[in-house]
Amino acid sequence: MKNNLRKILAGVLAVGLLGGGSAAHAAMTITIVNGNAAGVGFNDPTPVAPVGDNPGTTLGQQRLNAFQYAASIWGATLDSNAAIRVLSTFEPLSCNATSAVLGSAGPTQIFRDFPGALVPGVWYHAALTNKLYGSVADPSTAEIRARFNSNLGNAGCLTGSPFYLGLDGNAGSKVNLVEVLLHEFAHGLGFSTVTSGTTGAYLGGYPSIYDTLAYDNTLGKTWTQMTAAERKFSAVNPRQLVWVGANVTAGAPSVLVGGTPQLQINAPAAIAGTYLAGRAQFGPALDYPGVNKQVMPVVENGQLGLACNALDAENASAVKNRIALVLRGTCAFTVKVLNAQNAGARGVIVVDNVAGSPPPDLGGADPNVTIPAVRISLADGVTLLSGMNLTPGNRSSGVVARIGIDPAQLAGADKAGHVMLYTPNPFQSGSSVSHWDTSAFHNLLMEPAINADLTQHLDAPYDLTLPFMKDIGW
């Protein structure tokens, strides 16, 4: 059988998230294979109280229960006659006091040109291979390898934010392990490419089934139609690589809301256009047509200012009834926006202080903020400043902008309704390409970080993970 399957080991492939028992089901059987040694991980004997429908009375048993519960959700969702095994461990993973690798998972092997393969000459993850082949391709090897952070929440490892081991979704400020598991299992089931994003090279000279439906709007090609150099470019082409699978595209309007955040520069002509923008998680929601005003920079010591203190009279006069341009850094985003608001600004643009695109959202919370704000990249901030006509005594920059949304474009999709893949510049190993873009809203399970508003549903109108799986052959 193996001679017909043309397999390659892919044990090093693991797609991670920042920030033994078995479960049998009518649709598919997923078995959790306990890879931990005695006394650690799933075998940790530390006594704990039952929590959130998880009846385990030791830390190890609660962890295993959570794994089995996530496996049961996927097992009841997908259809396959062949069982799937997930070799799983809890072990120390990379972390510090404020951030951590929660977990990672990926296929142990990939296969191509086997009986039942839907597309010739492309790699399939082992789990999907089993489904299409109709039997277990390699009985000697688990299909998915999963590792999760045993230190999470301890001092020095995302301190104070441990995994929530309940099954009821009431994680509060803790990290919901079930949702992280659903995410990571999805990578092992097929939500990832094995093509290199840093070089553009195919693994073993062949593309992934994933690559057949990843389409770059700038180049007008799928990843299977590109050269390696073009794929390398596409992997860092922010919000231009999209998924063109029919099931995801059909499901997107019921999951994503209309209203992609935008910064539209209307004048001067030399810098006019639409700029990528991250929305603020505080203040009023962006709307249409939005705020259309002249942009004036906050100036401190002759440079673009931070606005961490109340604006002086000169800056207050400059930004009154206008959009204030400020620099990220030193203080919270809410502080910057509130100081501009108190000076009479009608909106705020925060320029990132480090290179990279697309710009993330502005985090924070303050009910006193009543004006809209967006974040733009450092490069785009330099562009805006270059277009300003600022001379001593001149109170007009000449730059006119609109902060708002495009109601005709789904948040996280292009104008054709194709959902965007995550392609930040610079490339982020373990995150780039094999996730949805962070601009998606409502938030999706397969974004590069777990969001607090997720549910345990995998299909539309809640999520697009199951439609994705159908696109690749599940």
Q: What is the arithmetic mean of pLDDT over 201-219? A: 98
pLDDT digits (tens, 9 = 90+) for 144-167: 999 999 999 999 999 999 999 999
High-pLDDT (> 90) share of the chain, %: 89
High-pLDDT (> 70) share of the chain, %: 94
Question: How far apart, in whole angstroms, are the C-alpha atoms of residue 442 and residue 252?
Answer: 10
Question: How far apart, in whole angstroms, are the C-alpha atoms of residue 473 and residue 25?
Answer: 20
Question: How far apart, in whole angstroms, are the C-alpha atoms of residue 127 and residue 211?
Answer: 17
Q: Phi and psi at residue 139, in whole multiples of 5°?
A: -65, -15
One-letter amino acid identity for 35? G
Q: Phi and psi at residue 326, in whole multiples of 5°?
A: -130, 165
Which distant-in-sequence residues (6+ apart) come within 8 Å of 407 by Cβ?
258, 259, 288
Q: What is the pTM of this model?
A: 0.88
Q: What is the arithmetic mean of pLDDT over 334-341? A: 98
Q: What is the arithmetic mean of pLDDT over 183-201? A: 98
Of the pLDDT bands very low, low, confident and very high (cuts 50, 70, 90), residue 235 is: very high
Q: How many CA atoms lie within 13 A of 284 on its CB side?
A: 15
pLDDT digits (tens, 9 = 90+) for 440-451: 999 999 999 998
Return the number of other C-beta atoms located less than 10 Å from residue 448's C-beta.
21
One-letter amino acid identity for 413? A
Q: What is the arithmetic mean of pLDDT over 197-213? A: 98
Longest dimension (CA), the chain: 80
* Cα separation values, 112 from 39, 157, 342, 432, Å: 40, 40, 62, 24
Closest CA relative to residue 160, chosen from 174, 149, 172:
174
pLDDT digits (tens, 9 = 90+) for 376-409: 999 999 999 999 987 766 678 999 999 999 988 9
One-letter amino acid identity for 48? V
Residue with tokens 């990571």: 184
Residue 3's pLDDT is 36
Residue 8's pLDDT is 73
Of the pLDDT bands very low, low, confident and very high (cuts 50, 70, 90), residue 231 is: very high
Residue 9's pLDDT is 59
Question: How far apart, in whole angstroms, are the C-alpha atoms of residue 278 and residue 438?
Answer: 9
Residue 11's pLDDT is 46
* Cα separation values, 3 from 107, 121, 138, Å: 19, 15, 11
Closest CA relative to residue 466, chosen from 209, 247, 253, 257:
247
What is the residue-averaged pLDDT of the chain? 93
Residue 27's pLDDT is 85
Contact call for residues 184 and 104 (beta carbons, < 8 A) = yes
What secondary structure does DSSP assign to 170-191, as a single string?
A: --TTSEEHHHHHHHHHHHHHT-
pLDDT digits (tens, 9 = 90+) for 366-381: 999 999 999 999 999 9
Instruction: Give the length of the chain.
Output: 474
H or E segment and range at residue 222: strand 221-222
Residue 259's pLDDT is 87
Residue 394's pLDDT is 64
